[in-house]
């Protein structure tokens, strides 16, 4: 398996950062979460004057064999249709990316469709969708390892282009099912508490989805370690995101975490390399069942609670202005001393 060299950020700078934050012309602690964000970002970048450069939202896309079991309201062909919507600039994350100055990278990780050559689609297709994990492993060990490696390579490319803050999104009909399997297997939270409506299932649909996933869990005879859970239940786009997150942490980048699926990718990544979570800023708590429980398990404090459950990186990109504000606070506010103001706390 590909390996990563990830270290916790050096906390020696924290005291200087706290002093800088407390010296700004405001009551101590009065900017709340912006202050803790500024401390985290300054620690990641090892500076009192952090910068956010060339933000990118990477969307990995792939299909899932488990979708054949009717676990999603949407048919499999929606995956490729939404990719064309990305290309046309019409999806939910597209307007947010334009609004907040994000570059978009769209990666065909394993869509069950042959796209015509297009310079705006990065072709990293492992295979045309995963196998159906109700009956067999979604991916082989070799396929999963390749997905980690190729997902990481995309982030290396972003970093070379000047990016130091990166959001991850996904597109893949059936991926909330794979996410629910990861969550239950790796946290011990009972599967019914990890399964939700996905793209819009009604109560009967959710019950059917749960029964399929319970049968899949009963059929699983693997080792139970993190890598095996990851590759057995897939999906390709999710494993590429895990690889991307681990490479981003290795490179000292700020990782913006989206919703239920990407939070599960953090779960897997942090089981493999616990240090990576120090680089993560959780954009929001979504409306997908299980997301809040997963955030609580990770001791994560999301920035937004907007009832979103779109995916695509929409929640993490939407939260970006708050991250930007934390950096601007450090760089643009004057201190009490600079303005000759008596400290009033």
Check if the beta carbon of residue 319 is closer than 8 Å to that of residue 303.
yes
Domain ranges (residues) in the chain: 11-50+328-339, 56-323
**pTM of the prediction?**
0.97
Degrees to nearest 5, angle at CA 51 with 104 and 166: 30
Largest distance between two CA atoms of the chain? 71
Backbone angles phi, psi at 69, to 5 degrees: -90, 10
Residue tagged active-site, from 69, 250, 288, 312: 312
Name, in order, each residue with C-beta under 8 angstroms of 2's C-beta and a sequence gap of 6 or more: 145, 148, 149, 152, 243
Q: Is 312 a catalytic residue?
A: yes
The pLDDT value given to residue 342:
87
According to DSSP, residue 284 is labeled: B
**CA quadruple 269, 274, 279, 285: dihedral sign:** positive
Report the pLDDT value the prediction gives residue 70, as an integer from 0 to 100.
Answer: 95
* CATH number for the domain running over 11-50+328-339: 1.10.1610.10
Query: What pLDDT is recorded for position 163?
Result: 98
What's residue 288's pLDDT?
87
**CA-CA distance, 265 to 239, in Å (whole number)?**
7
Q: Kindly state the tokens that stand for 141.
A: 């060990």
Mean pLDDT by 10 residues, the chain (345 residues): 96 98 96 98 98 98 97 94 97 97 98 96 98 98 98 98 98 97 98 91 95 98 97 98 98 98 98 98 94 98 96 97 98 94 80
Which value, in Å, is the radius of gyration of the alpha carbons in the chain? 20
- Residue 61: which of 148, 149, 121 has the closest Cα? 121
Question: Exposure of 111 by Cβ count < 10 A (0-12 exposed, 13-18 middle, 19+ buried)?
Answer: buried
Query: In whole angstroms, what is the distance from residue 154 CA to residue 132 CA?
Result: 27
Q: Which of 187, 163, 138 is nearest to 55 (CA)?
A: 163
Render the burial of 240-257: b for 16+ CB within 10 Å, e for the rest.
bbbbbbbbbbbbebbbbb
Local structure of 140: helix, strand or coil:
coil
DSSP-based three-state secondary structure for 304: strand
Per-residue pLDDT, 199:
78
Ramachandran angles phi, psi of 93, nearest 5°: -70, -20
Mean pLDDT in the chain? 97
Written out in words, the top-level CATH class of the domain with range 56-323 is alpha beta
What does the pLDDT read at residue 289?
A: 84
- Is-contact 269 242, C-beta < 8 A? yes
Which of 272, 240, 201 has its CA nearest to residue 3?
Answer: 272
Phi, psi of 285 (to 5 degrees): -105, 115
């Amino acid at each position: 398996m590909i390996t990563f060299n990830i270290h916790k950020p050096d906390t020696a700078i924290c005291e200087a950062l706290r002093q800088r934050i407390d010296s700004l012309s405001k009551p101590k602690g009065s900017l709340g979460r912006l202050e803790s964000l500024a401390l985290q970002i300054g620690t990641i970048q090892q500076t009192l004057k952090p910068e956010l450069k060339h933000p990118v939202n990477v969307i990995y896309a792939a299909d899932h064999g488990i979708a054949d079991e009717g676990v999603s309201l949407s048919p499999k062909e929606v995956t490729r249709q939404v990719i064309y919507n990305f290309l046309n600039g019409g999806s939910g994350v597209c307007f947010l990316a334009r609004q907040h100055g994000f570059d978009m990278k769209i990666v065909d990780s394993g869509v069950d469709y042959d796209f015509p050559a297009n310079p705006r689609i990065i072709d990293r297709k492992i295979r045309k969708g995963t196998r159906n994990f109700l009956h067999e492993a979604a991916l082989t060990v070799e396929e999963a390892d390749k997905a980690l490696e190729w997902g990481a390579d995309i982030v290396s490319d972003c970093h070379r282009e000047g990016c130091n803050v990166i959001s991850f999104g996904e597109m893949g009909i059936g991926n909330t099912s794979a996410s629910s399997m990861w969550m239950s297997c790796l946290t011990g939270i009972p599967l019914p508490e990890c399964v939700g409506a996905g793209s819009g299932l009604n109560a009967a649909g959710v019950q059917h989805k749960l029964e399929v996933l319970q049968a899949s869990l009963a059929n699983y005879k693997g080792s139970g370690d993190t890598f095996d859970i990851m590759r057995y239940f897939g999906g390709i786009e999710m494993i590429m995101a895990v690889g991307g997150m681990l490479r981003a942490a290795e490179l000292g980048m700020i990782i913006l975490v989206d919703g239920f699926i990407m939070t599960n990718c953090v779960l897997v990544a942090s089981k493999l390399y616990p240090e990576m979570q120090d680089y993560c800023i959780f954009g929001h708590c979504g409306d997908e069942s299980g997301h809040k429980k997963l955030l609580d398990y990770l001791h994560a404090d999301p920035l937004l609670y907007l009832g979103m459950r779109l995916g695509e990186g929409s929640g993490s990109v939407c939260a970006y202005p708050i991250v930007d504000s934390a950096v601007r606070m450090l760089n643009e506010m004057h201190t009490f001393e600079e303005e000759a103001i008596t400290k009033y706390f």
